[in-house]
Amino acid sequence: MPSRSTSTAPAGRRRPALTAVTAVTAVTAVTVATLLAAAGCSGAGSGPDSGGQGGQTSRNDQDGQEDGQNTTDTTAAPQNLTSQKLDWKACPTPSAAEGGGTPPSPLPGGTKWECASMSAPLDYAKPKGATIELALIRAKTSDPGKRIGSLVFNFGGPGGSGVTGLPSFGNDYDKLRTRYDLVSFDPRGVGRSDPVECKDDKQLDAYYATDMTPDDAAEEKSYVNGLKWYAGGCEQKSGKALPHVGTVNAARDMELMRQVLGDDKLNYFGISYGTELGGVYAHLYPKSVGRAVFDAVVDPNQSSEQGSLGQAKGFQLALTNFAKDCVSRGDACKLPGSTPKEIENFVVQLLDQLDKKPIAGLGDRKLTETQATNGIAQTLYSKEYWPLLEQGLDEADGGSGALLLVLSDAMNGRNEKGQYSNIQAANAAVNCVDSKQRYTLAQTKAKLPEFRKVSPVFGDFLGWGLLGCSEWPVPGEWEKPDVSAPGAAPILVIGNTGDPATPYEGAQAMAKALGDGVGVELTYEGQGHGAYNAGSACVQNAVNGYLLDGKVPKAGTVCK
């Protein structure tokens, strides 16, 4: 998901730009189908971010360390939290902050999802102080005799609910359930885990419709005032939590989770932002790393500006690939233009027209330039969404913005009832407490030409996103995350050459930053955000071989 803090956007990660909503927040097939039905639209699209061998034993160490060598972190949860027992029960109906809906359906074969809550310190600097409750979900292993332990998933965002995300993709990971309990969670500030709240549904409808690529002084003032207004709402509703929702604390929560689940090692599958969270965990707790996979990898070496610029290039590349595919189908392509460049120019012109005059959307809501850009970006997360993009652009050219608005709504966490999850609020909160960078209006405007040069479609959108944290009430923690993890078990790092939200170069950077003997890079020559669920048997065999059997692929393996 690019990541555009405190504004509308898609998912990749922490850069205050488009909002990286990964496999989870890049709409699931169920979400798209529901919203399309509500909009009265047709269209097809489907979903989308060496450890212990058998019989792991329980650990409830008070400090979470092994012989004083396990961690570079100086904080730890007290024994009453590391030894807590989870009360697993049938999963409730998802909360509004999780996106609403119905309880998860059983997996094939009848295995039911179970949910529990885990207590964690609000402030790890005061581990015996106030606590928060973190929501967890699991599906127990299908073969207890071969069980390795738990496999913990984070699908990205930041801001994506793992409690609703894991069941959405449960069938895709069912083979991994032969040796693991599949586990995920709502990170602090997300979904059911003390969610960050900023504004109500009606206010968010108005906010997401505003112009987030200003063209003159009046629009610039309105944009900055909107950022202040939004951040002020977050402080008013969730001020006590805001300093504590960052990635470092989420990594500490995973270490506590490992102990509470009774696992010697944390076996982990991180996607999109989940790769950065996994990297930070590996840095803090290298000897607790079990078998881990990073898919759709965030580049840990990039600043906010570099990350946003990379996403601009990535989404532009994905749009070009879509346009090439459309042109290759000749008259079957609904869009005007006989070359990819002509189709891209058509998209630019359409957005310019929407900037001047929004068109009919859904009910009394119109499609604005910002929402159209957001909807376009949504469809570039997976090649399977390309038919929706073609249809949405064609309909918008004819004066109907319903489909692109539906796609933008899905990105922003708005359901067919007009209710918003807290995905964007959490995304803003995590991004801004992580990143130290605070850009001024003058600095942002000075960067815009470079952004426009790399992407005529997404450049303004992502360039103006640099202002995303400028009004945030809590300071950021780092310039760049430290993911060095000397002594950790091998971590399989997968890069997709056509990934728009987390460009391919991030995988190589992450593998190198993790350290020699730790980061093992695998390349997938494909399209879309992520690789494991993209349909490549080569990728799935490599991942399954490592997670299930401990077979580390050869570094530099290429899958097509």
**Which residues are marked as active site?**
272, 499, 529
- For tokens 């696992």, the residue is 263
DSSP 519: E
Q: Which residues contact 253 (CB under 8 A, 6 or more apart)?
A: 118, 120, 134, 185, 187, 188
Cα dihedral 208, 272, 164, 110, rounded to 10, equals 150
Query: Max Cα separation, the chain?
Result: 68
Structural tokens at position 531 = 């690789």
Q: 170 and 153 in contact (C-beta within 8 Å)?
A: no
Query: How far apart, in whole angstroms, are the C-alpha atoms of residue 3 and residue 21?
Result: 8
Structural tokens at position 300 = 């840990």
Between the alpha carbon of residue 532 and those of residues 163, 178, 211, 352, 505, the distances in Å are 20, 17, 36, 37, 17
Q: 475 and 436 in contact (C-beta within 8 Å)?
A: yes
Query: How far apart, in whole angstroms, are the C-alpha atoms of residue 188 and residue 247?
Result: 9
Report whether the peptide linkage leading into residue 456 is cis, meaning its omega lies within 30 degrees of zero: no
Query: How far apart, in whole angstroms, are the C-alpha atoms of residue 26 and residue 157?
Result: 9
Q: 308 and 462 in contact (C-beta within 8 Å)?
A: yes
Q: 381 and 501 in contact (C-beta within 8 Å)?
A: yes
Q: 13 and 159 in contact (C-beta within 8 Å)?
A: no
Q: Which residues contact 83 (CB under 8 A, 6 or more apart)?
A: 60, 260
Q: Residue 33: which of 411, 410, 422 has the closest Cα?
A: 410
The β-bridge relationship of strands 114-121 and 89-90 is antiparallel
Structural tokens at position 86 = 């989870």
Between the alpha carbon of residue 445 and those of residues 212, 286, 449, the distances in Å are 13, 41, 8
Query: How far apart, in whole angstroms, are the C-alpha atoms of residue 99 and residue 84?
Result: 28
Cα dihedral 468, 474, 479, 483, rounded to 10, equals -110
Q: 492 and 554 in contact (C-beta within 8 Å)?
A: no
Task: State which amino acid sits at residue 208.
Answer: Y
Adjacent-strand bridge partners of 415: none
Query: How far apart, in whole angstroms, are the C-alpha atoms of residue 424 and residue 412?
Result: 6
